[in-house]
């Protein structure tokens, strides 16, 4: 089983707020060499640079859209259960959590004798996570299905996380005093990826015919895909021991490119632009997909009368769901 993912990230910084940059605070801050990781065409003047392994480039970006910690824990005299209920019901499926973490293990560069070209190279580890708020599932977990007829939708359940190692080399050329352009070539080594996207399906409770309530799972289509974590259905117990090998050209591989430029028509105006991670990763090793599809209706356990010893009524329900979905 093989999967190919396209990665495309465009970042143009002309007073536009964007989450495209992993380290936006460094964008066009040419005093530090890491600026070349954001814009390979930055206007830099270094002769050479060498980073301290694992210390010169550590970054963590995290954010939560639609939620503040004070919404829940502020000392405002409101009961925390009331605030939790308000928080659960007021959020939308577009609210999400985002985490990006990078550690540079190697980062170095040198200017060539022609004094126009600056070569930089290195290796870094990167972790990404984005998870959207599954509103209907959160409400169901908070108050159950006490509201008869309410429909719970699984569509909002979606997340993606990955851990990759990136080996890279780039060139930054100064064509003249006004214009710089550069490019960077990357080799991706994905140690692990887990994602669940494009889910669908409904769950609702109505008045029953043979029992008090009827519970319905309708058109369920749930799936989770992973790479690098499982041998078949078993978790790779040696994953952590093999992590360094997986990150450095040892697992699912891919290639990518960064492009960037800097244009200064005069002393008062500067225009910069960059395209990052234009490329793909080919997933062909330790690829696993788990899915559940189908529909199921139950009105609860039907007891045999007289009650027969040894019958596992709960297992009958489980078996029925597994056969249908």
Proportion of the chain above pLDDT 70, given as a percent: 78
In-domain check, residue 205: no
Residue 126 pLDDT > 90, yes or no? yes
Element (H, E) at 55: none
| C-alpha to C-alpha distance for 133 and 153, rounded to whole angstroms | 12
Q: Which domain holds residue 136?
A: 3-197+225-285
Confidence of residue 107 (pLDDT cuts 50, 70, 90): very high
Task: Report whether 222 contacts 197 (CB < 8 A).
Answer: no
Q: At what angle do helices 80-90 and 135-143 cross, to 10 degrees?
A: 150
Please report whether residue 241 resides in a domain: yes
Q: What is the pLDDT of residue 78?
A: 84
What pTM value is reported for the model? 0.77
Residue 193 near residue 230 (C-beta atoms within 8 A): no
Cβ partners under 8 Å of residue 31, min gap 6 = none
- What is the Cα–Cα distance from 10 to 169, expressed in whole angstroms? 19
User: Which pLDDT does position 304 carry in this prediction?
Assistant: 56
**216 is a domain residue:** no
**pLDDT single digits (tens) 41-88:** 999 999 999 987 776 666 767 667 666 767 777 777 888 888 888 888
189 inside domain: yes
The pLDDT value recorded for residue 5 is 39
Mean pLDDT value across residues 251-270 = 93
* 8 Å CB contact between 154 and 189: no
pLDDT for 171-183, tens place per residue?
999 999 999 999 9
Q: Two tokens at 153?
A: 């939708």
In the chain, how many domains are there?
1
The mean per-residue pLDDT over the stretch 149-174 comes to 95
pLDDT of residue 305: 57
pLDDT for 153 beyond 90: yes
Tell me the C-alpha to C-alpha distance, in Å, between residue 284 and each of 2, 69, 252, 291: 4, 41, 6, 19
Copy the structure tokens of residue 118: 């600056």
Instruction: Determine the Cα–Cα distance for residues 19 and 196; give it in Å rounded to an integer.
Output: 22
Q: Check: CB of residue 252 under 8 Å from CB of residue 281.
A: yes
In this prediction, residues 303-313 reach a mean pLDDT of 60
Instruction: Determine, yes or no, domain membership for 62.
Output: yes
The verdict on residue 181 lying in a domain is yes
What does the alpha-carbon distance between residue 87 and residue 82 come to, in Å, rounded to a whole number?
9
pLDDT at 136 over 50: yes
The average confidence (pLDDT) of the chain is: 83
What integer is the mean pLDDT of 20-39?
Answer: 75
Please determine, for residue 295, whether its predicted confidence score (pLDDT) is greater than 90.
Answer: yes
Q: In angstroms, rounded to a whole number, what is the distance separating the alpha carbons of residues 126 and 44?
A: 25
| Assigned domain for 137 exists | yes
Q: Is residue 204 part of a domain?
A: no
Q: What is the pLDDT of residue 76?
A: 79
Q: Contact at 8 Å (CB) between 153 and 134?
A: no
**Spatial distance between the Cα atoms of 185 and 252, rounded to a whole number of angstroms:** 17
């Amino acid at each position: 089983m093989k999967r190919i993912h396209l990665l495309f990230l465009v970042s143009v910084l002309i007073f536009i707020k964007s989450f495209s940059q992993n380290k936006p605070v460094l964008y066009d801050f040419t005093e530090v060499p890491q600026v070349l990781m954001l814009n390979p065409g930055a206007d830099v003047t270094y002769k050479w640079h060498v980073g301290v392994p694992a210390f010169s480039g550590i970054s963590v970006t995290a954010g939560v859209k639609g939620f503040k910690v004070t919404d829940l824990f502020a000392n405002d005299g409101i009961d925390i259960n009331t605030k939790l209920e308000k928080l659960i019901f007021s959020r939308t499926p577009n609210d999400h959590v985002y985490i990006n973490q990078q550690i540079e293990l190697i980062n170095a560069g040198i200017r060539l004798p022609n004094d126009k070209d600056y070569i930089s190279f290195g290796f870094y580890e990167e972790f990404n996570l984005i998870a959207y708020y599954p509103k209907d599932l959160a409400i169901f977990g908070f108050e159950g299905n006490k509201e008869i007829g309410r429909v719970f939708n699984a569509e909002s359940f979606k997340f993606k996380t990955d851990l990759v190692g990136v080996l890279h080399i780039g060139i930054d050329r100064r064509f003249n005093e006004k214009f710089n352009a550069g490019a960077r070539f990357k080799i991706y080594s994905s140690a692990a990826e887990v994602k669940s996207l494009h889910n669908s399906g409904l769950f609702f409770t109505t008045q029953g015919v043979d029992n008090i309530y009827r519970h319905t799972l309708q058109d369920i289509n749930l799936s989770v895909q992973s790479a690098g974590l499982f041998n078949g259905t078993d978790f790779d117990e040696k994953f952590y021991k093999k992590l360094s090998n997986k990150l450095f050209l040892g697992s699912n591989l891919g290639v990518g490119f960064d492009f960037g430029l800097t244009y200064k028509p005069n002393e008062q105006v500067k225009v910069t632009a960059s395209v990052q991670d234009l490329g793909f990763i080919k997933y062909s090793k330790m690829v696993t997909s788990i899915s559940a599809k189908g529909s199921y209706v139950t009105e609860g356990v039907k007891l045999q009368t007289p009650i027969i010893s040894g019958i596992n009524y709960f297992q009958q329900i489980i078996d029925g769901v597994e056969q249908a979905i």
